[in-house]
């Protein structure tokens, strides 16, 4: 998924209808705090189950070769 040049990893989480609202909040908060996820969308179905779409930015690390062309005088 890409929004304005930023790439996101997306995870869909299905939540059982037996989970309380507080339990769902706690679970989503843990995903955000410890996994770096943010809530993108939450949907509740007629049967009481929920589906959450979580996303987090993909951070690409550039290699030093990407900064300078091969054979360039760097110093």
Task: Give the Cα separation of 60 and 72 in Å (integer).
Answer: 24
H helices present in 1-75, as ranges: 21-35
Task: Give the Cα separation of 54 and 68 in Å (integer).
Answer: 36
Q: What does the domain layout of the chain look like in residue ranges?
A: 2-60
pLDDT per position as a tens digit, 9-48: 999 999 999 999 999 999 999 999 999 999 999 999 999 9
Instruction: Say if residue 54 is exposed, middle or buried (CB neighbours under 10 Å; 0-12, 13-18, 19+).
Output: buried
Collapsing DSSP to helix, strand or coil, 53 comes out as strand
Predicted TM-score (pTM) of this structure? 0.68
pLDDT of amino acid 57: 92
């Amino acid at each position: 998924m890409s929004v304005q040049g930023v790439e996101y990893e997306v995870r869909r989480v299905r939540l059982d209808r037996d989970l309380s609202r507080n339990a769902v909040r706690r679970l989503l908060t843990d995903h955000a705090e410890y996994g770096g996820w943010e809530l993108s969308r939450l949907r509740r179905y007629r049967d009481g189950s929920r589906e959450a779409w979580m996303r987090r930015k993909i951070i690409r690390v550039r290699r030093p070769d990407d900064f300078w062309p091969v054979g360039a005088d760097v110093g």
